Structure 1
Amino acid sequence: MPNAGALLAEIYRLAGARDWAAVEARCHPEFTIVEPASLPYGGEWKSRDALQRVAAAMYGSWASAKVEIHEVTGGKDWGVVVLSLTMTSKRTGRSLTQTICEAGRFEDGLLKELRIHYFDTAEVAAEV
């Protein structure tokens, strides 16, 4: 079985292509994504379609948002994606870029949890 980094990279590729059925097929039935609680789309999102729902909520919070994946790495159970997210505020028109690390844990080859770590959630929350 591929390592968790390779599995996570495939899920991100599919999510980028908006192939949500394929993303869901790679998520555990008890999948949970955790966004920082201080953000409007923060908290725990559960079920196989959670990644699609949180992506819609996050992108919908901004006038525009662009993801640039820098690197994906992983071991047996955990994978980490390092990315930049450039967001433009609907409220102020200001653009900001944050480095984000997204840590995914796999169980039986399926993504069971994804934890999102922003560099500065206060800056992001102030612009939403």
Structure 2
Amino acid sequence: MNTSTGLSATDLLDHMFAVEMRFLQQDDADLDLLATAFHRGVMVHEPASLPYAGDWRGLDGVGRLFKTMRDTWSELAVEGLQAAQSGDTVHMSCRLRLTARRSGTTLSQPFAEVLRFEDGLLIEGMPFYFDTAAIRFALD
């Protein structure tokens, strides 16, 4: 259980991913929507080898990250989600299915992420992609 809200890892992740997917389907940046699942001081650390590399800070930064991901992928799906929780930290794993917008190449691979929540909102995310070289290849 999340120590500040009593929410389970599944509750936190289901809500966060639902908000992320709704945001990805919008043309306009609705930061108020993001604020329902992401802390205003959120930080997401993406690997240097991906086209959306770097540290994405705040709701505006995460909004830009999601727009970049939407421009990169025509499909992004999370399958077989599993999670473990210790206090405000959630460790999740799944299969990530991605379809490159430009090439149409689809790939599916294991994915993991360490997520830290505060008051039920994501404050820090650190994703671990199984094979960033395969991701880059799909995009070229």
The normalised TM-score by structure 1 is 0.80
Structure 1 stretches lacking a partner, 5+ long? none
Specify whether residues 87 and 27 from structure 1 end up closer, same or farther in structure 2 by C-alpha distance, changes over 3 A only. Answer: closer
Which residue pairs with 1:7 in the alignment?
A: 12
> How far off its partner does 1:12 sit?
1.2
Structure 2 stretches lacking a partner, 5+ long? 24-29
- Verify the 8 A CA contact 2:76 2:99 in the aligned structure 1: no
Q: Give the letter for the 2:107 counterpart.
A: L
Which residue pairs with 1:54 in the alignment?
A: 65
Which residue pairs with 1:71 in the alignment?
A: 81
**What are the superposed Cα offsets for residues 54-90 of structure 1, whole Å, 9 maximum, x if unpaired?**
122112113x223134224223111133333322335
SS of the aligned residue for 1:39 comes to coil
- Verify the 8 A CA contact 1:33 1:51 in the aligned structure 2: yes
The normalised TM-score by structure 2 is 0.74
Structure showing greater relative contact order (alpha-carbon pairs closer than 8 Å, 6 or more residues apart) = 1
Q: Which moved more, 1:89-98 or 1:106-115?
A: 89-98
Specify whether residues 49 and 69 from structure 1 end up closer, same or farther in structure 2 by C-alpha distance, changes over 3 A only. Answer: farther
Say what the alpha-carbon RMSD is for the aligned residues: 2.3
Distance in 2, matches of 1:54 and 1:124, equals 16
Q: Percent identity?
A: 31
